[in-house]
Amino acid sequence: MQTAIIGGTGVYGVAGAEHREVVLTPYGDVEVNIGELRGREIAFLARHGTQHAVPPHLINYRANMWALHKLGIKYVYATCAVGSCNQNYKPGDIVVLKDFIDFTKMRPVTFYDGHEGVIHTIMSDPYCKNLRVLLSKAAGDTGLKVAGEATYVCTEGPRFETAAEIKMFQTLGADVVGMTNVPEVTLAKELRMCYAAVGIVTNWCTGFGEEADHGKILHMVETNKTALTDLFVRVFLDQEMTQENCTCSQAVMQSLSKG
């Protein structure tokens, strides 16, 4: 098993992945669904749990990513519900994440706490360029419209952001804002996984339009989730997955500095 899908808000399963398995990790137990499609196994993990019971700031990101690593996963696509602070990306659009800005505060952010020495992880390509290219090509082949690439700001949550915060994020170059993609993306890189994420724009950020509404957010996700997960599966099944076209497997480096 080498491929997995992580579902965000409103995405709690994928057709064909119905075998439930509990994976034991040093950080806690994780429930993963596994399916076999055209002779290939694909894992599915619901980021918030299948009942959306875990708020963004309490998600056990290390356990989730370690569980996928333990299963042998090397390639991950993920969905994220995001708010937009870019007028070109409106609710209902799909964007491919290309970079991030981290405004989280309290989360465990690494597997490397000094026991293995000082470890640094290269972030020049946080979202695997090869997976992004394959996704964009598959979207074009199927007619699924992708509005563009986006820089993502991750906040701690679970509250929404203030208008002043959103204005600051926009000034820093942000396109969309969410609460869950960091440290998930960086932990994937530490585990030498290829990882890419797609943002489903569910609402305008605070100060950009009408206030976020939970029902409307779920409606926007519902509109896009099947097409997106089908697209992920299409890439995994139609492409020969390889790490030769990216640098994800070489992103971890050990510091030689003594002080």
CATH value at residue 140: 3.40.50.1580
57 inside domain: yes
State whether residue 166 is helix, strand or coil: helix
Compute the distance between CA of residue 179 and CA of residue 177 in angstroms, rounded to an integer: 7
Q: pTM for this structure?
A: 0.91
Domain hosting 223: range is 3-254
Tally of domains within the chain: 1
Sort strands 94-103 and 75-84 into parallel, antiparallel or unpaired. unpaired
Cα–Cα distance between 37 and 108 in angstroms, integer?
Answer: 34
Q: What percent of the chain has pLDDT over 90?
A: 68
- Is residue 259 included in any domain, yes or no? no
Q: Per-residue pLDDT tens for 41-82?
A: 899 999 988 777 899 999 999 999 999 999 999 999 999 999
What pLDDT sits at residue 208?
86
